[in-house]
Every structure is written in structure tokens, then in C-alpha cells.
A and B are shown apart, each in its own frame.
Chain A
Amino acid sequence: MATEQELVEILRSNPPVEPFRPYCHLDEKADALMVHFRNEPDYSKRLNDHVTLYLSLDNEQIVGCRIKNISGILADLPNFVRFKHGGIELAIIFWSFRGGADSEDQRRALNELAREATEHEMVLPA
């Protein structure tokens, strides 16, 4: 087990390479897409079977999300979306959950995720 001091030393000797920028990452092993809009202290809260929200501990604003079972969604995507240049916008993924939203809170959260993704011009990782 790494000691506390060893962990502190690892963190100290490996500082961030650049300031935070919004990003998304596809984790094939976990079959999940991680989306991060802001670098803020957060906690997670399940929105539905596929989406877990990351919410700010300070103000409950959405700072990111995790989309589970992403491989099935990505496999189906070419049936609905075609693109010629660049990647597919991340926001379309949130739209795919919109029809299954069963509460106003869910619809609001999905819209907020899509708005943030669009504002930050995020595209699905290749």
C-alpha cells in the first residue's frame, strides 16, 4: 500500500501539465464515457440507468457526467447520424436519452448536459 507520504510525493512530482480544459474520455474497459466540463469538487448522483451526473458540492451545478454501456449507444449511432467532416458532437448522445426521460428533473439535466457539451464544442472521441 502506498503510504500517504508517497502519494503526496507522487502528486508533488507530477503536477498538472496544463490548466484544466473540458474533456471527454471513452473508457472501453469500463464501457463508459466520462465527460468533465469543470474542475470543481463534485459528487455523483444517478440520473437514470445510463447517466450518472457529477454535481458541484458548492452549488449543485452539473460539472460532468458518466455514461454507462456506451458501446451499444455508439454502435447504433451511425443509423441515426451521418457526418462528413470532423467528429460527432457529444450533445447528440444526451438527446438520445431525452425520449426516455420520465421527469422534468431528468429532462432539465439532459438539456443542461447537451447545452454544456455544445457550449464547449465537445465531440465524441474517435
Chain B
Amino acid sequence: MSRWFIAFSARKPDDPEGSKWEIGIQERRFRRLQEQGHTVPLGRILLVRDTLENTVSIIGGWSRPDKDDCFAYVGRPSRDFRGATIETPAPPGMLFVVFVLPDGEIEHWTWRRQSEGDPDVPEGMGEKVIWRQNKS
């Protein structure tokens, strides 16, 4: 049985062969959003899946000195959610970022503007790109 309330398969950041590891959302995190009526991030759990299935880059660390062992998965979903079920087109010029703790727990997820010089990396997060999709 999975330790996650919602489990996802993601590319292992440190494996050049591209093997997968299981990451996920803990039940307490899901329940908090549910109890607070916070429907936008709830709906965007579908974008977490989109991003982990079609990752364009993986960033090491969260641009914080004590978070070097965390990861950020970056994707470009074609859609967004304004609530748990209200689907809309993705905001233009944005990337979706899934922040993951070292043990695989997904901590939060959000849109962020893409960098001007590197469209596969979110603004202000380009210091440590550890993997990017091969476009050839």
C-alpha cells in the first residue's frame, strides 16, 4: 500500500537513465485544502499529474541554503483549473512547478512565469537545473 494519499510516478532526478520513483501528496495536506474550501489548488492536482508525466526540467534545491536536497519539477500543462472542476486554458508565458521534499512528499504546486532567457525554467529558479527534456 502506498504511503501517499495520491501517488504519482516521477522521473528520478539523480538518475541519467531516467528511472522513476514514487512521490505523492500526503492525506493531511489534501484534507487541509478540503477543510479550508481551497478549491483552486485542489483542482490543480490534475496539473501535478500533467507536469510529472511531461516534465520539461527538474531544478535541484528551492533556492534556499537548507533546501539543496529538495526538487522542483517543471512542466507546461495546456490547461488550468479555476476550481476543483472548472477547466480553462493555461495562462500564457507560465510554467507549472511541483515542489518536492527529499522523501518524495509533494509540498506545494503553483504557476510561475517562465524565464526570459530560458523558456523551460521558471523565473528566478535557473541556478541549478539538473535535468531538462531533450528536444532533438
Contacts and interface: CB of A to CB of B under 8 A. Distances in A.
A54 B110 contact: yes
Interface size classification for chain B: 35 or more
Interface in A1-60: 1-2, 4, 7-8, 10-12, 14-21, 23, 25, 27, 29-32, 34, 36, 39-46, 54, 57
Interface string A90-107: 000000000000000000
Nearest to A71: B66
A41 B8 contact: no
Nearest to A1: B9
A43 B91 contact: yes
Interface of B: 6-9, 30, 32, 34-40, 42-43, 45-46, 49, 52-53, 62, 64, 66, 80-82, 84-85, 88, 91, 94, 97, 99, 101, 105, 107-108, 110-113, 123-124
15 contacts: A1-B7, A4-B46, A7-B49, A16-B36, A16-B84, A17-B35, A18-B37, A21-B37, A30-B99, A30-B107, A44-B97, A45-B123, A54-B110, A57-B80, A57-B91
